[in-house]
Amino acid sequence: MSENNDAHINTMENAIHIFEDADSWSTVMLLYNSALKKINIKLEILNDEFQHAHQYNPIEHVKTRLKSAESIVRKLKRRGYESTTENMVKYVNDIAGVRVICSFTSDIYRIADMLASQSDIHVLFIKDYIKNPKESGYKSYHMIVTVPIYLSNGAVETKVEIQIRTVAMDFWATLEHKINYKFFDNVPEHIKRDLRSCAEMVSDLDAKMMDLNEQVRSL
């Protein structure tokens, strides 16, 4: 049975041609949206199971989003690619995005390990901006994964970017995004310095809060 299933697993590039009688844009967006739903359900189940087993929820909340057509086109142009459906599937990894917000840094790696251990999740690559922050001070744990989306003629491996971060990291990243948007990525140096200083405070806060939580749980 497994060999038969494997024979019907397609890449997204193949799916575009399989559904050539349909609008290829609508096809891939259907796949990405379905992948978001699947990852979201997996996270809900993991959170419920953790609450059942340990009386503790590692996930504060989850946000999902599909990248807009305009944003996809801009990203392709910045990278020197034509704006085609084939190129967006091949070169843009964050069309389907899931952001997982946790209370503590330790939860980030716990959730990442739980997701990576699932047999139908294939991890393509990881960027650990917690251990290796960006120059701006940005911290988050990024995973690019694929999950099979089962359609009437077989499964299609569909890419999803998963970002896992603490509440404090998310607060900082949201402000940084607003600042970059306002200044079109040409942020004044004094604001960059203040952002980096805030990033250090966020790191200290996360460390102290995690230590305090561990003290409380050990009592």
**How far is it, in rounded angstroms, from Cα 90 to Cα 192?**
33
pTM of the model: 0.90
CATH topology for the 2-168 domain: Beta Polymerase; domain 2 (3.30.460)
pLDDT at 2 (0 to 100): 37
- Say which residue, 218 or 149, is predicted with more confidence: 149
Instruction: Indicate the pLDDT class of residue 8, thresholds 50, 70 and 90.
Output: low
Question: Which tokens belong to 77?
Answer: 């142009």
Residue 70 known to be catalytic:
no
Mean pLDDT of 121-139: 97
Give tens-digit pLDDT for 152-176. 888 999 999 999 999 999 999 999 9
Region 52-69: mean pLDDT is: 93
The three-class DSSP label of residue 162 is strand
Q: Round to whole Å and give the CA distance between 81 and 20.
A: 22
Split at pLDDT 50, 70, 90, the class of 134 is very high
Largest CA distance in the chain: 63
From the list 49, 161, 176, 214, the catalytic residue is 161
